[in-house]
Homo-oligomer: A and B are copies of this chain.
Amino acid sequence: MKRLKATIAYDGSGFAGYQVQPDSRTVQLELMKVLETIHKGKVVQVVASGRTDAKVHATGQVIHFDTELSIPISGWLKALNVLLPEDVRVHSIEEVDTSFHARYHTTGKTYRYKWDRSQIISPFTRSLMVHIKQPLDVEAMKKASQAIIGTHDFSSFCAANTAVVDKIRTVRRLDFEEHGNELHMVIEGTGFLYNMVRIIAGTLAEVGMGRRKAEELKKIVAAADRDAAGITAPAHGLYLENVMYKS
């Protein structure tokens, strides 16, 4: 038995999210269908670093699965990309130790959140970025983001209905990048609570639009209360970019 680790990208627009759920098109189901075909009808379990919600994209999601087949690595890459629908692509695949686990062994993740600041929304990227027409004060957003960086109880930035008890997480990096009309927030941390990146993005966007002051962020973090923070930014601006493991 071999364990294979793959890095995959997907356009979340056509999916009800990563994880299998009844009567929905999901990334996991597409992967399982293809692996079942390759394994001549045998069901193969696929484990991802974590789920992503409906409309959320990935450029660097990591999965693992086990196989008894003796297909060379380059053959796996080719076979998966031939059989998968074009909105899911396998970028790399490698054999790993059978002790490797895509979910349990993560040491960090990077997400990217994309805003389109064009005056008129682009018809070509409307499912790939969130359009904000009004000018954003990026310097205020950067200033506000300083309160997020570090180890905190992130209860204010966690969907209220979450069962998780320990809401302490570490944000290692939170940067903004401007690419023409695009504004990206890049956030790296040890792990993220449910909707955490989208609530951070939504709250910082409110600062950018002048609806909140940068100075409020410290209080919002300290409140440890979802109602203290801003809106949950739309799913289609979010990208899972990188998953880290102990090397």
Contacts and interface: CB of A to CB of B under 8 A. Distances in A.
Contacts of A243: none
B124 A128 contact: yes
Nearest to A239: B124
A81 B120 CA distance: 8
A229 interface: no
A123 B91 contact: no
B81 A123 contact: no
A86 interface: yes
A121 B81 CA distance: 9
A11 B123 contact: yes
A86 B121 CA distance: 8
Contacts of A123: 9-11, 86-89
A126 interface: yes
A55 interface: no
A33 to B, nearest CB: 17
A64 interface: no
A111 to B, nearest CB: 16
Given A11-B124, A87-B123, A87-B126, 11 more contacts: A9-B122, A9-B123, A10-B123, A11-B123, A57-B124, A86-B121, A86-B126, A88-B123, A89-B121, A89-B122, A91-B120
